[in-house]
Amino acid sequence: MHIQIQCCGIILMLTLYFFYMRQKRISLNSQKAFLRVFWATFICLSMDVLSIGAIQNRHLMPEPFVKFIAKSYLVTLLFVALGALSYICVDIYTREEVYRKKMKPYLFLASLATVGAYLAPITYHFAEDKKTVLYTHGPSLYVTYGMALVFFIRIFFLLKKEKANINPRRREAVCIWLFVWLAASQIQFMYTNVLIVGFAGSIGVMVLYLKLENPETNLDRSTGLFSSSALFQYTKQLFDSDKDFSALAIVFENTAYQNVPMEQRPFIKMEIIEYLLKLPDVLCFKNAEDEFFILFDDTATSEHHAARIRERFEAGWGNHHSSFVHPYWFYLPHASVTQRAEQLLLLIRHLRQDAKEFSESDFLCIGADSVNQMLHKKETEQLILEAMESDRVDLYYQPIFSTEEQRITSAEALVRIRDREGQLIQPGLFIDIAEENGMILKLGEIVFEKVCQFIYKHPLERLGMHYIEVNLSVVQCAYERLANDYIQIMKKYEIAPSQINLEITESASTNAKKILQNNMEELIEYGVSFSLDDFGTGQSNLNYIVDMPVDLIKFDRSMTNSYFENGRAKYVMDAAIHMIHGMNLEIVSEGIETKEQYQTMKDLGINHIQGYYFSKPLPEEDFIRFLLEQPGQE
Ligand code: C2E
Ligand code: MG
Ligand code: MG
């Protein structure tokens, strides 16, 4: 029996340990499990050497002691197998209490096998000279090998069954490790004087180290801070163990460095990174090129630390502290409000989108309400997306009554979406979000196409109607291809452009005014008319009507309502009506709910009335039925 191979294994492991300890690490569960495998293998190798030494010198020691050492070596083999099992279990059972519960039976079995191994007899197998011991065997060995085999089979089984839950790199590394072990034991079985199983174990540990557990893989190469994947793994682990912590995200948008001369920026950036690297008692991660995360274990003192970090930024950087950088600060005193690592990162992304509205160096303290808002937004985005993909965008039509013709002559198309259960969702809940993320472009086009399909199916003249009003969002107005796309759709369904009236709002003009004007010009030339929606809300500006080529002005419900509630509002409305009519434009009054309101509006000379007094917005079929039931409608 020789111990040279085992000694090589020990040297290899000590070298690995040296490199491992030298590096900056975060305390990840997977790394703790790796250390368990590492120590089990190391002790196993050392016990191997010790037991070979004891057996070779068995004449110098009491027999039971030699056998105790030999058995102890066998038991350590068992714990290497258990270590390997625990190593993949940390990946599968990420919640600490679940992991503990799952590991309990294996620990029990290992303890049982340990007791069995110590109680069972062990014998020596001698070489032909009847003196040299080749290896040990007997019941003690069968108990430990048998149980190790059970663990290995379990590992194989888990690798297969839990494929989706195990990091693919970990699967691969564990497979290589097991293969090296099994190959070594096969060789050792055939050539009984080649004792390489222990050494194979150390090679296996090296594979794990190189493929997965090198702490350097958790570092960002350019800065030396922890990487984004380390951030994800570590926060996931904190959430899984139900530990609350605080987080500070520092975001450097383009504007952050605007006061720093271009040539100095790389130096300032480096100075900031060096500062972050040296921060005591916190973990600092680089999540993206311009986004850094600082995690605080202690929520009670985090605010104080966060304030200190901000103060450092306020003190200036570079020579004579003359360069000032203004990042956005997102501080979560209790990161647990986000519940999951994915959600925490998503929240910051979501907040970054809104950050453009902040003033310089804004500091935002984030609580549960921001999270709920984000979640609601995400859910709604998902709903809109699904609705568009699965044809769950519905159009409702609200009849508009002409006071001159004394019948319904037009209607406004109003969008709704349905969720999976068929529940109707009102536009007030999703239009803003669709505008924010740009989905409104697609949604608006679907609405417009549906309106055209409706007109194609039910020619308006047969319903006694002149046109349908379709809402245009601010975002659509600023879309260069809008006119072109809409004209194509009208052509596709052979719709006369005079049957379409597009509603724009005043806010549309401030954003990308030029594009809106081009779109309007093109569409008006084609024959489409426009109306101005929401008149009387916000900062309505009569000058705007002068500028914009609209034919109709739609008085918002709030404006018509205040006419009945507020004596002074009457004068404003009278004046507005006078001016609008003076410009030869027509007026639609929205939100008319009672006969009195209708009568008053009619007496004021309002041209069109829209409101619950006539009808709420109706689904297509009901709307057709409603029109057909109207006296004077043809
Ligand atoms: P809007 O364009 O001003 O539409 C009028 C809103 O007032 C409609 O709400 C309508 O149901 C409601 N309304 C009409 N008469 C009455 C009334 O007598 N009493 C009351 N209480 N309400 C009345 P809805 O359908 O919820 O739409 C809200 C807003 O959503 C619309 O305001 C419009 O800005 C937007 N919207 C609706 N459909 C679309 C669309 O297809 N595209 C875009 N971009 N926006 C849309
Ligand atoms: Mg409208
Ligand atoms: Mg309106």
- Residues 192 and 269 occupy one common structural domain: no
Is the minimum distance from the CB of 469 to ligand 1 under 6 angstroms?
no
Judged by average pLDDT, the poorest of 107-116, 129-138, 547-556 is 129-138
Residue 597 is assigned to a structural domain of this protein: yes
> 409 and 283 share a domain?
no
Range of the domain at 490: 396-413+441-623
The domain boundary residue, chosen from 182, 197, 217: 217
Any ligand 1 atom below 6 A from CB of 444: yes
What is residue 182's predicted lDDT score, i.e. its pLDDT? 85
Confirm whether 519 is domain-assigned: yes
Percent of the chain with pLDDT over 90: 61
Q: Same domain, yes or no, for 8 and 80?
A: yes
Which ligand number lies closest to the CA of residue 469?
Answer: 2
Q: Which of 172, 202, 217 is the last residue of a domain?
A: 217
- Judged by its nearest atom, the ligand closest to the C-alpha of residue 435 is 1
Atom of ligand 1 nearest to the CA of 472: 44
CA atoms within 13 A on the CB side of 449: 14
For residue 85, give the CATH number of its domain. Answer: 1.20.1070.10
Nearest CA to ligand 1 atom 8: 414
Would you state the pLDDT for residue 255?
83
Question: Up-side HSE of residue 457: CA atoms within 13 Å toward CB?
Answer: 9
The atom number, within ligand 1, closest to the CA of 503 reads 2
Runs of H (alpha helix) within 257-323: 265-278, 299-314
Using 50, 70 and 90 to split pLDDT, how confident is the model at 163?
Answer: confident
Q: Is 427 in the pocket of ligand 1 (CB under 6 A)?
A: yes
- 430 in a structural domain: no
Cβ of 473 closer than 6 Å to ligand 1, yes or no, is yes
Question: Ligand 1 within 6 A of 531 CB?
Answer: no
Give the model confidence (pLDDT) of 271-323 as tens digits. Answer: 999 999 999 889 999 999 899 999 999 999 999 999 999 999 999 999 888 89
Output the CA 456–ligand 2 centroid distance in Å.
22
Q: Which of 491, 480, 407, 405 is nearest to 448 (CA)?
A: 491
* Amino acid (one-letter) located at 5: I
Mean pLDDT across 407-424: 95
* pLDDT tens per residue across span 222-274: 899 999 999 999 999 999 888 899 999 999 988 888 888 888 899 999 999 99
pLDDT at 127 over 80: no
Q: Mark whether 540 and 403 lie in a shared domain.
A: yes
Ligand 1 probe mutation, 396, 400, 412, 414, most atoms within 8 A of CB: 414
Mean per-residue pLDDT over the chain, rounded: 90
Output the pLDDT for position 552: 96
| C-beta of 615 in contact with ligand 1 (< 6 A) | no
The tokens for 624 are: 């057709």
By three-state DSSP, how is residue 338 classified?
helix
Strand, coil or helix: 317 = strand
Which DSSP symbol is given to 123?
Answer: E
418 is a domain residue? no
Atom of ligand 1 nearest to the CA of 434: 44
Specify whether 210 is located in the same domain as 347. Answer: no
* Among 330, 291, 302, 286, CA closest to 244: 302
CB contact burial 503-536 (16+ within 10 A = b; e otherwise): bbbbebbeebeebbeebbeebbeeebbbbbbbbb
At which residue do the structure tokens 């111990």 appear? 3
Query: CATH number for the domain including 549?
Result: 3.20.20.450
pLDDT over 70 at 633, yes or no: no
Q: Is residue 436 part of a domain?
A: no
Q: Is residue 385 in a domain? A: no
Per-residue confidence (pLDDT) for residue 380, from 0 to 100: 93
Q: pLDDT per residue over 575-621, tens digit each?
A: 999 999 999 999 999 999 999 999 999 999 999 999 999 999 999 99
Which residues face 531 on adjacent strands? 503, 552
Same domain, 48 and 99: yes
Which pLDDT score is estimated for 85?
A: 93
188 and 288 housed in the same domain:
no
Q: Are residues 191 and 229 in the same domain?
A: no
Domain end among 217, 244, 259: 217
pLDDT at residue 356, as a whole number = 65
The predicted pLDDT at position 130 comes to 72
pTM of the model: 0.69
pLDDT on residue 372: 87
pLDDT number for residue 358: 61
Q: Does any ligand 1 atom lie closer than 6 A to the CB of residue 414?
A: yes
Query: Which ligand minimizes its atom distance to the CA of 503?
Result: 2
pLDDT at 508: 66
Does 213 reside within a domain?
Answer: yes
Q: What is the pLDDT of residues 520-531, one digit of tens each?
A: 999 999 999 999
Whole-number Å distance between alpha carbons of 504 and 532: 5
Percentage of the chain modeled with pLDDT above 70: 97
What's the mean pLDDT in 29-40?
91
Higher pLDDT, 294 or 130: 294
Q: Please determine, for residue 357, whether its predicted confidence score (pLDDT) is greater than 70.
A: no
* Residue 593 CB–ligand 1 contact under 6 Å: yes
Domain containing residue 314: CATH number: 3.30.70.270
Supply the pLDDT for residue 538.
65
Total tally of structural domains belonging to the chain: 3
Pairing of strands 529-535, 133-137: unpaired
Pocket test for ligand 1, best of 394, 430, 431 (most atoms within 8 A of CB): 431
Q: Are residues 31 and 85 in the same domain?
A: yes
Any ligand 1 atom below 6 A from CB of 206: no
* 90 and 61 part of one domain: yes
Tokens of 547: 């500028």
Same domain? 342 vs 210: no
Residue 434 lies in a domain: no
Give the number of other CB atoms < 10 A from CB of residue 105: 9
Kindly state the tokens that stand for 561: 């309502």
Work out the number of other CB atoms within 10 angstroms of the CB of residue 587.
Answer: 23
How large is the average pLDDT for residues 464-484?
Answer: 95
Please give the biggest Cα pair distance in the chain. Answer: 125
Is a pLDDT exceeding 70 seen at residue 509? no
- Determine which of 9-18, 212-221, 252-261, 537-546 has the lowest per-residue pLDDT on average: 537-546
Query: pLDDT at position 256, please?
Result: 87
Spell out which residues have Cβ within 5 A of ligand 2, the ion.
Answer: 471, 503, 533
Asked whether the CA dihedral 609, 615, 620, 621 is positive or negative, the reply is negative
**Rounded CA separation 532/534 (Å):** 7
281 and 142, same domain (yes or no): no
